[in-house]
Structure 1
Amino acid sequence: MPKDTILVVDDSPTEQRLVAAALSLQGYRVITAADGEEAIEKAAKELPRLIVLDVVMPKKNGFQVCRQLKTTAATQNIKVLLLTSKSQDSDKFWGMKQGADAYMTKPFTDGDLVANITKLI
């Protein structure tokens, strides 16, 4: 039986597969989305335990998605881990201000990703 469900959101199929593979190996049920609008739809439908969310994406960026999820009653308790190439202190500050529960930068190691997720759920 799988552990919790995690939604992986990234517009890069390669990054999406890397994150999904690392989490699947840990026993998580992984679902994916390729842009911000799809992320919001799947989060509302599936109610995952956690979302690994890229920032730079088409339609809605990760900051917008995070803010919308955290201000919507049905999804406000879903943990959000921003995983992005945006590494400035101001980016991290802004991401956390949007309601993110954790912030990681790319490139990442599977071990760091899993450790951060374990802390959150």
Structure 2
Amino acid sequence: MAKQTILVVEDSPTNMTLMTGPLIETGYQVITAVDGEEALEKATREHPDLIVLDVILPKKNGFQVCRQLKTAPDTQDIKIIMLTSKSQDSDRFWGTKQGADGYMTKPFDTGEYLKAIEDLL
């Protein structure tokens, strides 16, 4: 059985490597985007099974991307985990209000990261 596809949205090359490496090693198909607009375009075109979404992004922030994807009929069912350095309770609340299915903060534990993804898939 083919593994699920995950779109990772992150503008930092270092964090992108930390976020995609464990997914690739686990066998997931990984696609990437480096800003909010590219994330929206790839999510709509590729329709991944799950999106790992940073909040602080160029062009459109993660909250805007999440809200737009969750309100569009063709992408509303895609699972979204926000993975961000924004760790305040208000940030977590706002992410959930935008439709995020999960919210994790950086730095993250790789085991918890993979478990959160597995739980949503």
How does the TM-score come out when normalised to structure 1? 0.98
Matched, 1:30 2:30: yes
Q: Deviations over 1:67-92 (max 9, x none)?
A: 00000011000000000000000000
Tell me how far apart the structure 1 counterparts of residues 92 and 36 of structure 2 sit (CA, whole Å): 19
- State how 1:5-24 maps to structure 2 within 5 Å: 5-24=5-24
Q: RMSD over aligned Cα, in angstroms?
A: 0.8
Distance 1:76 1:16 in 2: 24
**Deviation of the 1:13 alpha carbon:** 1.1
State the aligned residue count: 121
Percent of paired sites with the same residue: 65
Please, which runs of 5 or more residues in structure 2 have no aligned partner?
none
Moved over 4 A (4+): none
- Return the offset for 1:14: 1.1
The answer to whether residue 102 in structure 2 is matched with residue 102 in structure 1 is: yes
Q: TM-score, normalised by structure 2?
A: 0.98
Name 2:58's counterpart in structure 1.
58
Deviation string 1:20-66 (CA, Å, 9 cap, x unpaired) is 11101111000000000000000000000000000001100000000
Q: In 1, distance between residues paired with 2:45 and 2:14?
A: 25
SS of the residue aligned with 2:27?
coil
